[in-house]
Amino acid sequence: MIEITGLTKRYGSHTVLDNIDFTVEAGTIAAVVGASGAGKSTLFRCVNLLERPTSGTVRVDGQELAHLSARELRVARRAIGTVFQSANLLRRLTAAQNVALPLRFLGLPEEEIHRRVRDLLDRVGMLHRANHYPAQLSGGQRQRTGIARGLATRPSVLLADEATSGLDPETTGSILRLLTELRDDLGVTIVVITHEMDVVRSVADVVAHLDHGRIVEFGRVGEIVRRSDSTLSTALLPDQPLSLSSGGEFSGGESSASEVVWQLRYQDATVDPSWLSRISRELDTDIALLSGLVETVGGDRAGRLTVRLDARLAAENVVAVFAAYGIHARVASAADELAGVSS
């Protein structure tokens, strides 16, 4: 479990992290997202105390790290595994030797090191490449080796900084499945720093949106997608954007004097899959589906769609009918496209 309270990090007069409160329950995967310069990497380094906070507390499994001595911190860091972007393997060492490094640092007996390295490489699917050097491994294989090294000290927490950046979709999927297995099989608490929303949707239980050093939104992934049309929510589950003509009118899915474009969002965790035909009958009108995305997010179905309805329908009635099926509905406009996000 990770508990961060009032975390602030300054470099001179520049505040990078500003009074952050952030808790990750044991055995869950948390994603931290945000634009470049938002403070994600600094937060990452503060969790494992590669950077000392200016103020605030960092607790891992109940132990406060920020005020430990250098010797005490070296011991405490054994509970925190780290996986860096591009794995950061030592190129003159084999995969097995890279994984063994932290164990040799701890002074474990060679027999124990050999057994643990073999088990770790087997778990991440790299036992057959144990004696290969990093230059002989693919990007995904290097990352798997980096994960094995991060698990060498049997940590309760694993920090992964852009662990899938630059990998192809198939390799990314295999790394994400591995992280999920580590959570499910070993109960490891995982924090993933990423800019890839597909990664968040695929593996994260909770997500934090970091913006200019502050956490501006935090919660379970599925709940965030369903509860609003915030920047994070729409990034996690984007609807296909409506295109605009040069005159500012909707093209393709445009509204006219007789039609209105509506934007829909699943608001409930469960929505009747036959809602389209049922609502069409209730409103006694055709519903033209212009675009949409419906996925399982955080264990529940989430959806964001754009439809076109008869303009003669009373807006209040349309909103009420959709709400009865657990769907939030609002009239779309060209301003939505130009502004990007509205609530």
Single residue among 189, 222, 255 that ends a domain in this structure: 222
Q: Which of 179, 197, 222 is the last residue of a domain?
A: 222
204 and 264: one domain? Answer: no
Residue 43 lies in a domain: yes
Q: What is the pLDDT of the chain when averaged over all its residues?
A: 88
Give 25-85 as a DSSP string.
Answer: -TT-EEEEE--TTSSHHHHHHHHTTSS--SEEEEEETTEE-TT--HHHHHHHGGGEEEE-T
* Residue range 176-218, pLDDT digits in tens: 999 999 999 999 999 999 988 989 998 999 999 999 999 999 9
Range of the domain at 321: 237-339
Please report whether residue 193 resides in a domain. Answer: yes
Residue 14 has pLDDT above 80, yes or no: yes
Kindly state whether residues 283 and 152 are assigned to the same domain.
no
Residues 101 and 197 in one domain: yes
DSSP notation for 205-223: SEEEEEETTEEEEEEEHHH
Residue 17 shares a structural domain with residue 146: yes
Tell me how far CA of residue 77 lies from CA of 29, 63, 259, 312, in angstroms. Answer: 19, 11, 61, 64
The CATH number linked to 247 is: 3.30.70.260
Same domain, 185 and 126: yes
Is there a single domain that holds both residue 106 and residue 42? Answer: yes
Residues 187 and 317 in one domain: no
Write b or e for each residue in 93-132: b if 16 or more Cβ atoms lie within 10 A of its Cβ, otherwise e.
Answer: ebbbbbbbbbbeeeebeeeebeebbeebbebbebbebbee
* Pair 160, 255 in one domain: no
- The model's pLDDT over 311-323, given as tens digits with 9 standing for 90+, comes to 999 999 999 999 9
Phi and psi torsions of 310, nearest 5°: -60, 130
> For residue 134, is it within any domain?
yes
> Do 6 and 119 share a domain, yes or no?
yes
Residue 230 lies in a domain: no
Residue 227 lies in a domain: no
Among 186, 232, 224, residue whose Cα is nearest residue 205: 224
Indicate if 132 and 190 belong to the same structural domain.
yes
Q: Domain for residue 103, yes or no?
A: yes
Please report which confidence band the pLDDT of residue 333 belongs to, taking 50, 70 and 90 as the band edges: low
How much is the pLDDT for 256? 59
Q: Which of 160-169, 301-310, 313-322 has the lowest mean pLDDT?
A: 160-169
For the domain that residue 101 is a member of, what is the CATH number? Answer: 3.40.50.300
Domain co-membership, 257 together with 192: no
Domain boundary among the residues 222, 246, 264 is at: 222
Report if residue 228 sits inside a domain: no
Q: Are residues 193 and 244 in the same domain?
A: no
Whether 232 is in a domain gets the answer no
Query: Structurally, how many domains does the chain consist of?
Result: 2
- Whether residue 39 has pLDDT greater than 70: yes
